[in-house]
Amino acid sequence: MTTYGEQKLQEEKVFKDPVHSYVHVRDQVIWDLISTREFQRLRRIRQLGTTFLVFHGAEHTRFNHSLGVYELMRRIVDDRFSGRDEWDASERLVVLCAALLHDLGHGPFSHAFENVFELNHEEYTRHILLGDTEVNAVLRKVSEDFPQKVSQVIEKKYANPLVVSLISSQIDADRMDYLQRDAYYTGVSYGNFDLERILRVLRPSKEQAVIKYSGVHAVEDYIMSRYQMYLQVYFHPVSRSAEAILNQILQRAKRLYKEGYAFELMPKPFIPFFEKKIEIADYIALDESILLTYFQLWMHEEDDVLRDLCTRFVNRRLFQYSDLNVEVEKERYVRLQQLFQDAGIDPAYYLLSDCSSDDFYRTTAKQEPIMILMPDGQLKELTEVSLIVDAVAGKIETDHKIYYPLEEIEAITNTGLRDEILTLLERA
């Protein structure tokens, strides 16, 4: 008799997907997982957070991306690995489920949200997989320990390192999907690399998925794509400016709550987060439409800071920015803070700093290297065979910025004060 884990749909179902053409589903388990409310919730979480305020096409969601990672994994496993000695066919379902569900725990505007409320989306992915959820119910129908297994793959604790590598390595299904997907929806061309070629040269091996030597140039191209996407899209300063404001909104709301501020409408969905007593149900209940709704309500709050920041975020009146490394130019920064204070602009909310930083490729304890399968069967680390990756490996591109409301500074009536600020911001 067919077990639930082996059950196939009577007819294959497909989702039209602009990136992979179609997402194909034949397994009953996968179909059932997609229909759970926890998975459907990912439709209300954008893949790229605040990036839509810079690249207006970037409205795509984590639902979108999760299906894409699943589809890539399905192609890797069914079209590429299936039938090879190094691949254990019994791992198929767990890796497909892990691919589909790996982002389940992401909250609304993940980075800012996790930052302010000291959360970790990976932990919440585990909670959703193992807790009292529809997803857990589906997974348990496969076997009692199946939810745990899926969770282990996502947390990189699964026994079979090859399976883990498929979902979290420097060239995994997750990254390959998001680079292409984010490029597609933003409209930038940088995320394009030869995905077909990489799939063709991917091979299972004992410790991890490896790349046949003939595919090294495709991998080089992928690494350069990744780098460009980070610089051009993920670290775009305007998007970081929006995120900095978002951060301050959540911080301010939390502080006001703690101080007993009387919100016009009590922000019920936020209270568990303000108080750090979060049930799974609270977590799942939150999404970006709810945040945007509250931000719009708060545009009418009495508190000046909350009101102003929300108005800025909703109507896209973002902060301008200048280059400034607050570690290196501490004095300049402290002086700016003082001058903002003097001008009546609270630097805690209106002089923000951040730093983005990315390296091209690394081989550290944490990051498994990309291994190349040589014609003679040996494995070599990528930098040994790629002149170009070797040249850039370990190089770090760092960008330090400060953000501030330029139009308010320009409106300062004390011209001496104003000009000193503008000069320090290199705006003079």
Distance CA 253, CA 298 (A): 9
Pick 135 or 164: Cβ nearer a copy of itself: 135
**The CA-based dihedral angle spanning residues 67, 362, 394, 54, taken in that order and rounded to the nearest 10 degrees:** 10
CB of 184 to a copy of itself, least distance (A): 7
CB of 148 to a copy of itself, least distance (A): 25
Pick 67 or 336: Cβ nearer a copy of itself: 67
CB of 255 to a copy of itself, least distance (A): 23
CB of 129 to a copy of itself, least distance (A): 18
Q: Are 214 and 201 in contact (CB under 8 A)?
A: yes
Pick 315 or 414: Cβ nearer a copy of itself: 315
CB of 59 to a copy of itself, least distance (A): 4
Pick 217 or 258: Cβ nearer a copy of itself: 217
Pick 120 or 189: Cβ nearer a copy of itself: 189
Distance CA 227, CA 224 (A): 5
Q: Provide the token pair at 65.
A: 């991306």
Closest CA to 246 of 56, 424, 46: 46
- Give strand pairing partners of 398: 357
How many Cβ atoms from other residues are within 10 Å of residue 254's Cβ? 17
Pick 14 or 328: Cβ nearer a copy of itself: 14
CB of 60 to a copy of itself, least distance (A): 6
Distance CA 388, CA 224 (A): 10
CB of 161 to a copy of itself, least distance (A): 26
Pick 53 or 73: Cβ nearer a copy of itself: 53
- Give strand pairing partners of 404: 320
Pick 155 or 397: Cβ nearer a copy of itself: 397
Q: In the complex, which residues of this chain contact a copy of itself (CB under 8 A)?
A: 14-19, 21-22, 35, 37, 40, 43-44, 52, 55-57, 59-61, 63-64, 67, 184-190, 192-194, 196, 200, 217, 220-221, 224, 227-228, 231-232, 285, 287-290, 292-293, 296, 314-317, 360, 387-388, 391-392, 395, 397
Q: Provide the token pair at 292.
A: 């945007």
DSSP secondary structure letter of residue 27: E
CB of 190 to a copy of itself, least distance (A): 6
How far does CA 241 lie from the centroid of its chain? 17
**CB burial string 362-386: b at 16+ within 10 A, e below:** eeeeeebbbbbbeeeeebbebbebb
- Compute φ and ψ for 354, nearest 5 degrees: -155, 175
Distance CA 295, CA 113 (A): 14
